[in-house]
Structure 1
Amino acid sequence: MKLHFQIVRLKLKETFSISYGSYSHRDALVVSLTKHNKTGYGECTAIDYYGIDLNAFILKLESIQSLLEKREIIYPTEFYLFLESLNLHFFLCSALDCAYWDLFGKLEKKNFLELNSISYNKLPESSITISIDPIENQIDKIKKSNWNNFKVKCNHFNELELNSLLCLDKNIALDANCSFSIDDCKLIENNKLSSQFTYIEQPLEVNSFTNLNANKYPNWMADEDCQNETSILGLKHHYSTLNLKLVKLGGLTPALQFVKEAKANNFKIMIGCMTESTIGISAGAVLTPYADFVDLDGANLISNDIANGNFIDNGKVFLSEKPGLGISLK
C-alpha cells in the first residue's frame, strides 16, 4: 500500500463569516492510499477553532509512512485499530480512515453502503449555510436561493431579526457558534416561536450546556459540545440533536459506533461538515441514511473543487453507486 499526501487551497466563492472570524479560503490536507492500481482518498481541513496545523500533520505522516505502507489489506475496522495505535490527531485519523474505506471498497468492488448493509428509501435534504451578514443581506440570499433548507450563522441574539427569518416561510435553522448568553437561551426556551426553527445549534460556550433544557420549545443541537462518543451521555436532557462531523470523531469507523450510541439514547443526528471538497463531502454523505438532518454544503461553498463523488445539488443528496466512497480526482 502506498501513501501520498498534499496540501491544497480551497477557495471560497465568497467570504465566509462565522462568530469565530471570516475566511476567503480553507487549506486542506488530501491523503491517498493506493494498492493494485486502486486509490482511496481522504481529507481534513485547517480549522482555527481546533488549532489544526497541516504542516505538523505532514511531519506525522512522514514519520509513520513506512509503517503504514507495510500494512496488509484487512477489513477497515481492523485497520482502524492500527490507526489508533499511532496516536494521531482525530482530524488526521479521519482522513486516513476515510481514504482506507474508499480504497477497501474499490478493491472489493463494493460501495460503503453495501459493505455495511445500509439501506434507505429517501434521504433528508441538506441545508446551505448563510454566513454572518446584516440580516437584510441574509434574507436576500435566502430569497434568491434554490435550496429548501437554510442554516443561518449568528454572532449575537436579536429577537426581531430572528422573527424576520421566521416570516420567510422557509426551513430555517440557526447556528450561534457559542455566541448566545444564558439569558438569551432562557428567552428562546420559553418562546413558542422558537420551535419553528429546524434546530438551534451550539448556542452557548462549550461546557455551558447544563443551562439548556431539551424539553423546552427549541430543538437544541450540540456541535462543539459533542466531540466524540464519550460525550453523548452527558448531553442528555440538554440537547435533542447531535452534529456528527467525521473529523471531530476520527473518521467513518468511529462514526458508525457514534450513530448507534446516539440512536440508543434517543438523540436525533445531523451529518455535518467543515468547508471541504467533494472528498470530505463524499465520506460524510454515506452516513446520510442515518440522518435526521443534513448539512453537507462544504463543497458547494468553494470555487475550485478538486474531486468527483457523492454530491449535493440544491440540497438534494446524490450517492454514487461506485465502489468505496465513489471518489475520483478531477
Structure 2
Amino acid sequence: MKFSIYPITLYLKEAFTISRDSYSERRAVIVELEAAGHKGYGEASEHSYYGIDRAAMLEQARAIGPVIENYSFDNPANFWHYMAPHVRNNPFLQCAIDNAAHDLHGRICRQPCHRQWGLEAAGLIKTSYTLSIAPVEKMIEKIRSTGFDIYKIKLGTPDDMDILRQLRQHTDAIFRIDANCAWTAEQTIRYSHIMKDLGVEFIEQPLPADDWEGMEKVYEKSALPVIADEACPGENMVARCAKYFHGINIKLMKCGGLTPALRMIRQAKELGLKVMMGCMVESSVGISAIAQVLPLLDYVDMDGALLLADDPATGATVLPDGSVVLPGGDGLGIVMK
C-alpha cells in the first residue's frame, strides 16, 4: 500500500470565534492511501485545545510511513488495530489515516461506506449551521442570509441571554447552544430555563471538560438536555459521560476516525445516550466521512466546509435548509480538485 501526506491551509470566509479562540484559517493535512489501483482520502487539522500541531503531525506521519506501506491492506478495522500503537498519541492523525482506509476499502469493494455498514441513505437528518460569536447585528444578518432550519449558536459572553433573545426575534428555527466550556454550573442551570422558553433544543458542553462535580448539578437541575463534547474525546469516556450528560458529540478527529466512532455510537445507544456527530473547520474530505454515518445519528453539525473560502474537494452536499445529499461515488465519495 502506498502512503502520501501533504499539508493544506483551509481559509475561512470570515473569522470564526468561540469562547476561547478566534481564527480565520486552519492548517491541515490530507492523507492518501493507494492500493489495488484505488486511492482513499482522509483529513486532519491542527487544534491548539487538543495540543495538535501540523508540523509535528507531518513529522510523525513521515516516520510511520514505512509501517503503513508494509501493511497488506484488507479492511479498515484490522488496519486501525495494526496502526493504533503507532498513532495512539495523536487521534487526529489516526483519524486521517483511518478515514482514508474506509474510503479506499469502499472504492475497492465498489460500494459507499454506509452501504458496507448495512445502512440506507433515506430520511437523513438535517445539519445545523453554526453562528460563531460576533456582534449580534452580524449574527442576525447571518440568519437572514442563510435560512437554515437549525442553528448551532456559540455563546460564552457576558451578554449571552440578551444575544439569544435578539436572535429569536428573527427566526423560528431550532436553536442548539454550544458554550464551549465557558459557563459555571449555576449559570447553566439558570440559563437553561430562559433558553427553554426561547426554543432551545439542548446545551452542548456548558462547563469545563473536567468539572464533573458541576455537571452532576447541571444534569440534575437543567431544564434542557446537555450534550458532552470536550468531556467525551474518545470511546474510553462514553460510559462516564452517561452519568452526567444526555448525549455525546462524537468528532472523528477527536476519537481517531470512523472505526472507533462506530464503536462509540453502539456503546452510546446501549447506554441510552443521544448521539450527535460534529465537525471541526474541515473540508469536504472530512465532512463526507461524517455524511456516511448520518443514518445512525440523532443530531449532526457538519457545516465545516460551508465556512471555507475554497474547498479542496467535493463530496457530501449541504442544501440551503440543512438537508444533506450523500455523494454518488464509492467509499466516502470524495473527489479531490
- Fold shared per TM-score above 0.5: yes
SS at match of 2:111: coil
Gaps of 5+ in 2: none
Task: Say whether 1:196 aligns with 2:203.
Answer: no
Task: Say whether 1:307 aligns with 2:280.
Answer: no
What is the aligned partner in structure 2 of residue 50 from structure 1? Answer: 50
Map 1:110-129 → 2, pairs under 5 A: 110-129=111-130
What is the aligned partner in structure 1 of residue 249 from structure 2? Answer: 243
Map 1:15-164 → 2, pairs under 5 A: 15-88=15-88, 89-156=90-157, 158-164=160-166
Map 1:160-171 → 2, pairs under 5 A: 160-167=162-169, 168-171=171-174
**What's the CA shift string for 1:147-204, capped at 9, x where partnerless?**
2211111122533332333343221111111111222112134447358212211111
CA distance in 2, matches of 1:100, 1:305: 21
How big is the shift at 1:214?
A: 5.6
**What's the CA shift string for 1:48-76, capped at 9, x where partnerless?**
11111111111111111112112112121
1:225 pairs, out of 220, 231, 238, with 231
CA distance in 1, matches of 2:8, 2:317: 20
* Greater mean alpha carbon deviation, residues 234-243 or residues 93-102: 234-243
CA distance in 1, matches of 2:22, 2:302: 19
What is the aligned partner in structure 1 of residue 210 from structure 2? Answer: 207
SS at match of 1:147: coil
CA distance in 2, matches of 1:191, 1:11: 36
What is the aligned partner in structure 2 of residue 263 from structure 1? Answer: 269
CA distance in 2, matches of 1:74, 1:139: 50
* Greater mean alpha carbon deviation, residues 138-147 or residues 266-275: 138-147
- Over aligned residues, Cα RMSD in angstroms? 1.7
2:281 pairs, out of 256, 275, 287, with 275
Q: 1:216 to 1:20 in 2, by over 3 A?
A: closer
**What's the CA shift string for 1:250-293, capped at 9, x where partnerless?**
00000111000011111111111000000000111111111111
Preserved CA contact (<8 Å) 2:16 2:133: yes
The residue identity in structure 2 corresponding to 1:102 is D
How big is the shift at 1:305?
A: 0.4
TM-score for both structures, normalised by structure 1: 0.95
Preserved CA contact (<8 Å) 2:3 2:32: yes
What is the aligned partner in structure 2 of residue 186 from structure 1? Answer: 189
2:323 pairs, out of 286, 299, 316, with 316
Gaps of 5+ in 1: none
Indicate the percent of aligned positions where both proteins have the same amino acid. Answer: 34
How big is the shift at 1:120?
A: 4.5
What is the aligned partner in structure 2 of residue 328 from structure 1? Answer: 335
TM-score for both structures, normalised by structure 2: 0.93
Q: 1:214 to 1:255 in 2, by over 3 A?
A: farther
Q: 1:170 to 1:252 in 2, by over 3 A?
A: same
Preserved CA contact (<8 Å) 1:9 1:27: yes
Preserved CA contact (<8 Å) 1:20 1:49: no
The residue identity in structure 1 corresponding to 2:270 is A
Preserved CA contact (<8 Å) 1:281 1:311: no
SS at match of 2:263: helix
Preserved CA contact (<8 Å) 1:112 1:324: yes
CA distance in 1, matches of 2:45, 2:220: 32
SS at match of 1:188: helix
Over 6 Å off, 4+ runs? none
